[in-house]
Structure formats: C-alpha cells, structure tokens
Amino acid sequence: MYVADQLDFESRPKIELHVHLEGSIAAETAIELARRHGRDPKEVLPLIDGGYPGRFTDFQQFIDIYLAVSGQIGDPADLRIISEAFAHAQAKQNIIYTETTFTAITHVRAGMDPDEMWAAVREGLDAGGGNVGLIVDTPRDNGVAAANRTVEMAEGADAPIVGLGLSGIEGSVPEGEFRVLREAADRLHLGLVAHAGETGGPERVWAAIDDLGADRIGHGVASALDESLMKRLVQDAIPVEVCPSSNVSLGIFESLDDHPFPKLWRAGVNVTVNSDDPPFFSTTLASELGHAARIAELTEDDLLELQRRAARAAFVPPDERMRLEERVTL
C-alpha cells in the first residue's frame, strides 16, 4: 500500500548518511557569524533577501554561496556552536545515527589550529546529544596535496571520524589520483565515499568505483542513464546516497517528478535517502523520505527497507550496524 501521506516521518527512528556539517548552517546563523567577526553580511554573503534562493541558478551559484557561508566560520568557538546545533537538530528529528561530511581542510587553510578544530567539533557534537560520525572530505578541485593534508589531519584527530570523502567539482581532477584516500581508509579502518554522478555523468561513478575504490557513492543519480552501471551497482550492492530536493534545487532535474530515484529503486540499486544541505534546500530527512515515498509509490515495508539499508551502509562496526538496523525496524 502507498503510504506517503499516511506516515509520520518525523517521529520514526531514522538514519542519515549524506548531510554536510557546513551545509547545516541556516542563513540567519551565517549572518550572525559574519557580524560576530565584524563583517558586513551584505558584503560577504551573496544571499537573496537575507536567505538562500528557493532554487539556485546553477551549481556554481550554490558553490559560491556555500563557500561564503563556510567562510564565516572564523574560530573554533563558531565550529562548536554549529556542531552542537547540528547534533541537536538531528536528535530532535529522531535521527538515531548520522554521518556528516566535514571539510576540515577549508578551516585549517584559513588558519585554524587542527587540534582546536577537532576539539570544537567533538565537544559540539557531544553537547548536542546526537549520535554523529564524521566523514572528513577533500574537494577534488583543491588537488591531491589537499587530500594528503586531509589524511594527515585525520590520522592524528581526536574526533569521531568514521570515513573519508571526495567531493568538489566532478571532472576537475581524475578520481584515480586520489588513491591516497583509499589507502588511508584501509589503514585507518575507515569508510570511503565519493560524490559522483551528481553534476557529472555516469563515467564519474564508474571512476569513483573502479579508479578510486569508493565504498559508497554520494548522489550517483547519473547512474540511471547507464544500464550497465546500474547492474554493477546492484551486483556489488554499492550504497548510493540519493538527495532528491538537492538535485532539484540545483537544477539537475526540473522537478521531483523528473527525479530518477524511482528508476534506481526499481532496478534494485542500493539507494538511501538523505537531505544533503537541509537549510540550503528548505528540507529535512523526513521531507526527503516523504518525497521518495510519493514519487516511487513506496510501501511502509519499502520505507523500512530504506532505513535498514542506511544502517547496513553505515561506517560503523558490524555489531553497531545490527543494533541500528534493529532500532529502525521497531
């Protein structure tokens, strides 16, 4: 039975694997951070009437605004506030486990001490009361040197790091050049996720799998254009972190009804549903699950299966995955 309009998505225990820490900053918070450091928000934040656009003109506009917002994080105290607010918001939504992507290299390059940075994030997440693991990512367009530095920081971090990630402009640097991430993930017993097939084509997903060796694919919606790629994803049960509203807000698809989530789901691809950057796209995980249920006509069992998949794909020890799976099934 189709249940999108019948379930209380907010109260159900949930797991989220693809949400950015810096992307959790509300426009109002970004304005407050700018003022805290003596900056004029109108000069440093390209907002629209004090907020984020309902729909971005293109991916570059999103990147420009996202980086401007991230740039208002001026010291560890800012990071602590943001981390605590994020963990609290996730817990309030009954998201029992979250993996949040954090671009540490951005803040260190801006002058933040790595040890103070990790302490601020750790303390904030703990104070927020959420069960949160960090995926420390590096943008492709920052180059391989930034990836190496990210690995160095992760190795010595006193923080709840569960994975490494590759993000940034698809196609700017070949995925295979970032094998240091795969090697480090294996050495440190971490997972590895790559943003791929969001703005790029299926070839970027192939490269993330075969050249980089990613355990999970962030977004991956271009996979729906390649039947052989979908078969590979199904064959290897590679988790694909789908974020419907993000893709529509960035103009990758005209509307939710045009989104390929139903095609991926029906093909048997190991999809999960996520919010990406909630305030930027005016969404929540509960809303994204509702959208997925509507466009793919999911049943209650289907929705439970989505959460089981998220539990099984989490970068945590096997016994913890089993506990998470049991909790979302209740």
Which residues are identified as catalytic? 198
Q: What is the DSSP string of 238-270?
A: --EEE-HHHHHHTTSSSSGGG-SHHHHHHHT--
Q: Using CA atoms, how far apart are residues 121 and 60, in angstroms rounded to an integer?
A: 28
Residue 324 to residues 29, 92, 258, 311: CA-CA distances in angstroms? 32, 17, 32, 6
The three-point CA angle 92-76-41 to 5° equals 80
Assigned token pair, 244? 């419907």
Assigned token pair, 20? 């950015």
CB 250 within 8 A of CB 277: no
Q: Is 3 helix (H, G, I), strand (E, B) or coil?
A: coil
| Phi, psi for residue 232 in degrees, rounded to 5 | -65, -45
Q: Residue 162 is inside which H or E element, if any?
A: strand 161-167
CA-wise closest residue to 214 among 170, 255, 259: 170
Q: Estimate the crossing angle of helix 179-188 against helix 144-155, to 10 degrees.
A: 10
